[in-house]
């Protein structure tokens, strides 16, 4: 049994894998001002409340795009769980060949998602992660990470809209019944959601066009993916646990190193 942690810019997602059974996910706000004790106590209490015996945890794997919290989080795991975490990054076995100009620039979250999408859904595949940023990553049929596109996330776009325009309110992001809005709130919702649907369809279409791969599979994940999935034929599958599945796969690939570090 092991703990999987995905550190994103907005949230930290946690879950426990017990064989093929998954417990979670649980979420906490990413806060780089927390101490190792705060992280450690929170994680221990969270696991206890969900009836997870921390003494049965054999390892911890972490994917992070927030370097500033890693010292405190790593120390929390070592101090409160008595385990040395595996941090996904350079040197980790993933099974993917990163064909970026600078592979070290590719975020751990993108690699984890790409590993899961390729191994679960096959290649070629496009992974769309609707998080703080919306990312589009392409893995070919050889298991090579060949392209990455990044755009502002839906929430970032919404926050920018209401914070930079004095008369526009902070709104809930949801698809309105019609694009023909007749009030301020639904006009903002229409612009955000229908605009994002248009972005997804255009970017996916252009990827397929440039690669000459009309058959490429498209998998979506991330907290805001459910808003877009089902509204477009350009997304084939929505996998809420894609990142956690990717962490499980990478954990399995690195089990020898994990056991060596104990």
pLDDT of residue 262: 66
- CB of 99 closer than 8 Å to CB of 225: no
- CATH superfamily for domain 2-87: ATPase, nucleotide binding domain (3.30.420.40)
Which residue has better confidence, 187 or 124?
A: 124
Cα–Cα distance measured from residue 24 to residue 21, given in angstroms and rounded to the nearest whole number: 10
Q: Indicate whether 177 pLDDT > 80.
A: yes
pLDDT of residue 123: 85
- Catalytic one among 18, 55, 109, 261? 109
pLDDT of residue 249: 96
How many other CB atoms sit within 10 Å of the CB of residue 217? 17
How many other CB atoms sit within 10 Å of the CB of residue 164? 8
pLDDT digits (tens, 9 = 90+) for 137-169: 999 999 999 999 999 988 888 888 777 665 566
Per-residue three-class SS string for 58-84:
CEEEEEECCHHHHHHHHHHHHHHHCCC
Q: Cα 5 from chain centroid?
A: 11
Is 109 annotated as catalytic?
yes
pLDDT digits (tens, 9 = 90+) for 4-56: 999 988 889 999 999 999 998 999 999 888 999 999 999 999 999 999 999 99
pLDDT digits (tens, 9 = 90+) for 193-234: 999 999 999 999 999 999 998 889 999 998 788 888 888 999
Task: For residue 76, name the pLDDT band (cuts at 50, 70, 90).
Answer: very high
pLDDT of residue 183: 86
- Locate the domains of the chain by residue range: 2-87, 97-245
Phi, psi values for residue 121, rounded to 5°: -105, -10
Averaged pLDDT for residues 236-257: 93
- CB of 165 closer than 8 Å to CB of 159: no
Phi, psi values for residue 24, rounded to 5°: 125, -160
Whether 97-245 and 2-87 are alike in CATH topology: the answer is yes
Instruction: Return the CATH fold of 97-245.
Output: Nucleotidyltransferase; domain 5 (3.30.420)
pLDDT of residue 166: 55
pTM of the model: 0.89
């Amino acid at each position: 049994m092991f703990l999987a942690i995905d550190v994103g810019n907005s949230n930290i997602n946690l879950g426990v894998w017990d064989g093929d059974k998954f417990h979670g996910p649980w979420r906490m706000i990413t806060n780089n001002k927390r101490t190792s004790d705060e992280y450690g106590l929170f994680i221990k209490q969270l696991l206890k409340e969900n009836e997870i015996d921390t003494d049965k945890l054999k390892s911890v794997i972490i994917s992070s795009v927030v370097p500033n919290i890693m010292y405190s989080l790593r120390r929390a795991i070592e101090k409160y769980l008595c385990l040395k975490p595996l941090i996904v990054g350079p040197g980790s076995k993933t099974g993917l060949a990163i064909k970026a100009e600078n592979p070290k620039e590719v975020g751990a979250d993108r690699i984890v998602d790409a590993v899961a999408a390729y191994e679960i859904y096959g290649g070629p595949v496009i992974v769309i992660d609707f998080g703080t940023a919306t990312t589009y990553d392409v893995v070919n049929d050889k298991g090579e990470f060949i392209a990455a596109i990044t755009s502002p996330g839906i929430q970032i776009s919404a926050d920018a809209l209401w914070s930079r325009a004095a008369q526009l309110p902070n709104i809930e992001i949801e698809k309105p019944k019609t694009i023909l809005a007749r009030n301020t709130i639904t006009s903002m919702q229409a612009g955000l959601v229908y605009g994002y649907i248009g972005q997804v369809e255009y970017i996916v279409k252009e990827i397929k066009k440039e690669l000459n791969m009309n058959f490429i599979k498209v998998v979506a994940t991330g907290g805001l993916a459910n808003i877009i999935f089902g509204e477009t034929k350009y997304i084939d599958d929505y996998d809420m646990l894609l990142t956690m599945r990717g962490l499980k796969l990478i954990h399995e690939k690195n089990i020898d190193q994990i056991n060596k570090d104990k």
